Amino acid sequence: MIIVTGAAGFIGSALVSKLNNEKYYDIVLVDDFSNEQKNKNLINKKFSLKVHRDIFIEWLKLNHKYVEFIFHIGARTDTTEFNYEIFERLNVNYSKKIWSICVEFGIPLIYASSAATYGSGELGYSDDEKIVNQLKPLNPYGVSKNEFDKWALQQDKKPYFWAGLKFFNVYGPNEYHKKRMASVIYHAYNQIIDTGELKLFKSHKEGIVDGEQKRDFIYVKDVCDVILFLMHNRKKSGIYNIGTGKARTFNDLAFSVFKALKKNVNIKYVDTPEDIRDKYQYYTEADITKLRNIGYNKEFTSLELGIDDYVNNFLSKMRYL
């Protein structure tokens, strides 16, 4: 039996799809299942049971002997939420309970951390665990993820295999429900369909041209490939960056969406809102040396190919993974 928390969400549901493709069907889905839009992500998925997140901890204590692996992907991910108590309860304390049960009963664990832990990137984007205590996330969500990473590293008792995954800018099918928190590609597609143009933030940093801000965009299918690799190859526990290792510009992204839609490029650059301007990231790029060193040698989907697949095989057809 495999457990996936956050199973109705974006990455969680994509992971369930990947598990099904690998012939894993004895899966327990954990979420709150109250969002009907999110629940569409689970249509046609094969699984054994749904467990509400509020009763999952007690359920796990009673059923631990049947569990082979836990993917703890569920989290509160809203970066516009500033009530830290919500993050502490759902992202930190809840995760501690799952970790402790995994330690007690010998269950391997993979959990979702985030590249939001890196803040403005003043210390770079290395998943070297020595710098975790020095990181300065820019919002409560990033703080909560970093607090759990710090706590996990400090524990004398750890699951016999564990991995904390720092997801960079993930995009792809099954994010339809995320609304404001969906990827730039999702919003770009809808904006171009609706208006024929795409608005991108201007650069307010000397030396960087409008639209040349960079992010490490990773296709959700690649994320799931890495997660399954870690499940099958439990070589070295620790914290891992999950990105492509190649930063790409927002202009690259825009051109790719217009091309996928077979439309002429029409970009309008607008001022970055003042309330986020001082916290805006101009560059992120995952250092994936650690991941490569444990044997993950598969190439990542290029931004162009990922966007073409997402736009033409999913967004334009409202298909789910």
Q: Any catalytic annotation for residue 145? A: no
Write the CB contacts of 190 (distance below 8 Å, at least 6 apart in sequence): none
Q: Which one from 141, 171, 186, 296 is the annotated catalytic residue?
A: 141
Give the single-character DSSP code of 27.
E
Report the C-alpha gap between 118 and 215 in whole angstroms.
Answer: 13
Report the C-alpha gap between 177 and 243 in whole angstroms.
Answer: 23
For 182-191, give one letter per residue: b (16+ CB within 10 A) or e.
Answer: bbbbbbbbeb
Contact 313, 246 (CB under 8 A): no
- Locate 52 and state its tokens: 């509400």
Q: Any catalytic annotation for residue 160? A: no
Write the CB contacts of 317 (distance below 8 Å, at least 6 apart in sequence): none
What's the chain's Rg over C-alpha atoms?
19
Q: Which one from 178, 202, 205, 246 is the annotated catalytic residue?
A: 178
Which amino acids are annotated catalytic?
141, 178
